[in-house]
Chain A
Amino acid sequence: MSSDRQRKAAKIREVMREEGDAVRESAGHHNEMRKDAVARLDDYEDLRDRARAIKEDAIERLPELVDELTDSVEANGGHVYLAEDAADANDYITSVCADADTVVKSKSMTSEEVDVNDALHADGLDVWETDLGELILQVADDSPSHLIGPAMHFTTTEIADLFNDVFDPDEPLETPEELTAFARDLLSEKFAEADVGMTGANFLCADSGSMALVTSEGNARKTVQATDTHIALAGVEKIVPSIEELYPFVELLAKSGTGQDLTSYVTMLSPPVDSPSQGVDGPMTAASADDRDFHLVLLDNGRMDMRDDDHLKETLYCIRCSACSNACANFQHVGGHAFGGETYSGGIGTGWEAGVHGLDSAGEFSDFCTGCSRCTTACPVEIDIPWINEVVRDRVNHQGREEGFDFLVDGLSPDAEPGRLDVEKRLFGNVGLLADAGSATAPLSNLVASFGPARDLMERVTGIDARRDLPEWQRETLQDWFARRGGSTVDEAAASRSAVLYPDVYTDHVQVERGKAAVRVLEALDVHVTIPDLPESGRAPLSQGMIDTADDRASAVYGGLAEHLDAGRDVVVIEPSDLAMFREDYEHFLPDASFERLSENAYEVFEYVYGRLDEGATLDALRAGHERLAYHAHCQQRTLDLAPYTESVLERLGYDLLTTDVECCGMAGSFGYKSEYYELSMDVGEDVREQLSTTDAADRRVVASGTSCLEQLSDLLRKPTRHPIEVVDPRR
């Protein structure tokens, strides 16, 4: 392993050991709660569409909304300061606090982004975080590991040890109740003392100058109520046109984040408010807004540039609910201290870090996104988070490119990427070429690849972990076999349907048997089959952030399929990650009409079988049985909601089926092969291993749809695995 990879592996190991269990329990729990909460909404998808549309419009009209908000806040008697960057924001905030001694703060990631506490401390101010999670971090001198549960990585015992050590209470603190009561009492004093209250803002309404503050503890409201000077620091992207537009966000935010219907307190304010403040002697009689001071600091810090960036722009729609983090298998296992940058963490963290702190901070962790797409259905504003990660990876690949030198190297490379590209990424990105060479020289290629010293060398040079079995290249590819048998046995003119079976790299070169099974199943359902020579889909280079190469592949695949689509043939795909390319990712690469045409005519193989049955084909020709099966669907197959087709067909054929509810096997394409991620990959896979090792599951034949899932399950369970199409193969 190279020293960089070793360092990364060591850091991941440490974070998994120190913080993994606590993060996993909390993030995993919130993810399950989220699924239940959104399932209770009748109009969830409609609400997401509405939320998305409001954000698209607001970001489009942002300069105009900034002006409108400024006018509204000033009309209410407040001040607005547009801060260009962190230093500018901190200068303004410290100047407002010039006469203050104590500042109380409610939780704000934006204040973490600018490190305002450091600036206030440098000015001699006493600053207190009043959100208990943030208080823990302040006391521990630590940083947030999650957008809404910033101290998620701490266990109760660790917090108790920390508080007992720092505060030395009369009776040592032990339980969550005791710790909470202690913090409440401590902060009550701080609220009473404080001169300035600082908050963020979850949303800002341009027309009225109102803001929404969402907390479960009530601390934001107390921060505003208890102090005469209120400073709100918010990114410019938080503006929506009016309070009416807040409805879908209020409905979605808590459900997406923690799975609660609503967070305990949604505070709506148009400051300065005239509620009486604390710390005033005597009766609380009518107060006036004149007694209070309000400063809204609107932070740019790269956001206006993000708005002009076609790919990072979507990040600005983020409402920071943390659903993408909680839904992510890798995040659940390492948390934001590995899967995160200077401030922001998780899938969308890559977009935020790239926009506000730059590519160095974002590039460091964007690889943790495996592109599995689970977060895309969890995001309440429908952000294509994997795409943002792929774009950032691509930019990191191109960073610091020196044209003269790279021009030479590029000429020798098989892809469209710069010479600087990491060997590991280049290797995985060009897996199609590797497969051609592997099959052409099999079995010699497999022998060499399984030779110990060669594997060590390979690990050092390419980053492929020596503990992984490598794909066994088949000498006779699916295409060779199909040609040798003389093409389809079903005459096209007489067939019910005609389909292209897409020869993905793994089916063509490694999992050839599942390809043969698919051909026979389709033919048994009266489908004429064609297997043209088509390139790799672009999934492999896309996952390495090699976007130009993926784009080239998409054009070549479409070019090769166009005449078949013209001829009325359907496209049947075995590998779910390739189908996801055709149905989702090609939108970025192909003209709209081409994309729509391919996406509408491409089917997952069991989806297609199911469709044929719907059209009246009978199951008789397929292999029925009562065998006990355990089925693990692929992550992208789950996102596209395709797993039920496989389950339905297998059950209708009589099989006794157990379906895993663990969403991720941990392999995620090439991710689990990489030496720096191997241990994380196996750790993530532990859940599915456990589920498939129970008494009810252990004796079942294991079937899975994705190539990398099959390989991971073989490694985890130490037994052979199959694609389900092989189970129903009439010739089996």
Chain B
Amino acid sequence: MSTTTTGAFADALAPLNGRVERVPAAEVAETIDAAAVAPAVGVPLDIDGVSLPDSVATDFSADGVESAATGVTPAALGVAEYGSLLLEHAPAGAEPAQLYPSTHVAVLRESDLYPDLESAWSEVAAAFDAGRDDAVLATGSSATADMGELVRGVHGPREVIVVLVEDR
């Protein structure tokens, strides 16, 4: 996949209060550390050669996730044309970590970036057919226009930072 796809992904996220940091695996931890506003909570990333920085707590409680400023989780795939991420739940609390803190740092392998929704959707469907039962296709930050104009950060994060891991 070309860097054009990565460029399209970053361009699509920008107006949705999102940005992309493309780094080699070895630099993921320091990138997360720099991007995360403390206190930060997170779940294991399960990507080869990639780990969470010490500043991200993994044994958080319900209260902990409510008071955290940043949640760090993996993203299963990305949709370049719309800047979307597929966020799956995980027993360690990935879902609340994506949902409650006002900054969400998502870690995505560049090889999991799909050019468009149709190609990505085949993967979503395949995952559900294989037994997955909970995932969110999140596009940018939480938003509402109900109060008269667009406001970001309603029930979900105000800001999304995607750490894109160079793996090809």
List of A residues within 8 angstroms of B45 by Cβ: none
Identify the 9 closest CB pairs spanning chains A and B, nearest first.
A218-B156, A156-B148, A270-B133, A176-B147, A286-B91, A132-B146, A284-B93, A133-B146, A217-B154
In the bound complex, do residue B118 and residue A184 qualify as a contact, i.e. CB atoms below 8 Å apart? no
In the bound complex, do residue A217 and residue B143 qualify as a contact, i.e. CB atoms below 8 Å apart? yes
Interface residues of B (CB under 8 A from A): 12, 16, 59-62, 65-66, 81-82, 84, 89, 91-93, 95-96, 99, 117-118, 121-122, 124-125, 128-129, 133-151, 153-156
Q: How far apart are the CA atoms of A76 and B134 in the complex, in Å?
A: 12
- Closest chain B residue to A177, Cβ basis: B151
Which of A240-248, A301-309, A551-559 touches B?
Answer: A240-248
List of A residues within 8 angstroms of B150 by Cβ: 176
**Chain B's nearest CB lies how many Å from the CB of A270?**
4
B121, B136, B151: the one contacting A246 at CB < 8 Å is: B121
In the bound complex, do residue A247 and residue B121 qualify as a contact, i.e. CB atoms below 8 Å apart? yes
**Chain A's nearest CB lies how many Å from the CB of B87?**
9
**Chain B's nearest CB lies how many Å from the CB of A461?**
45
Q: How far apart are the CA atoms of A281 and B60 in the complex, in Å?
A: 11
In the bound complex, do residue A264 and residue B124 qualify as a contact, i.e. CB atoms below 8 Å apart? no
A149, A177, A222, A279: the one contacting B62 at CB < 8 Å is: A279
A-B contact count (CB 8 A): 177
A154, A219, A243, A287: the one contacting B154 at CB < 8 Å is: A219
In the bound complex, do residue A210 and residue B133 qualify as a contact, i.e. CB atoms below 8 Å apart? yes
In the bound complex, do residue A244 and residue B125 qualify as a contact, i.e. CB atoms below 8 Å apart? yes
**Chain B's nearest CB lies how many Å from the CB of A198?**
15
In the bound complex, do residue A225 and residue B99 qualify as a contact, i.e. CB atoms below 8 Å apart? yes
In the bound complex, do residue A208 and residue B128 qualify as a contact, i.e. CB atoms below 8 Å apart? yes
B60, B124, B134, B153: the one contacting A269 at CB < 8 Å is: B134
Interface residues of A in 240-293 (CB under 8 A from B): 242-244, 246-247, 250-251, 260-271, 273-276, 278-287
- Can you list 23 residue pairs at the A/B interface with Cβ under 8 Å? A149-B146, A176-B147, A177-B151, A184-B154, A217-B154, A244-B125, A246-B121, A261-B12, A262-B84, A264-B139, A268-B124, A268-B134, A269-B133, A270-B134, A273-B89, A273-B133, A275-B95, A275-B134, A276-B93, A278-B66, A284-B93, A285-B92, A286-B91
**Chain B's nearest CB lies how many Å from the CB of A568?**
46
A179, A265, A280, A286: the one contacting B156 at CB < 8 Å is: A265
List of B residues within 8 angstroms of A184 by Cβ: 153-155
Q: A76-B133, A268-B135, A270-B134 are in contact. Are A251 and B144 (CB under 8 A)?
A: no
B62, B118, B135, B143: the one contacting A216 at CB < 8 Å is: B143
Q: A208-B128, A218-B156, A265-B156 are in contact. Are A180 and B144 (CB under 8 A)?
A: yes
- Closest chain A residue to B95, Cβ basis: A275
Q: A180-B147, A184-B155, A275-B134 are in contact. Are A268 and B99 (CB under 8 A)?
A: no
Interface residues of A in 118-169 (CB under 8 A from B): 130-133, 136, 149, 151, 154-156, 159
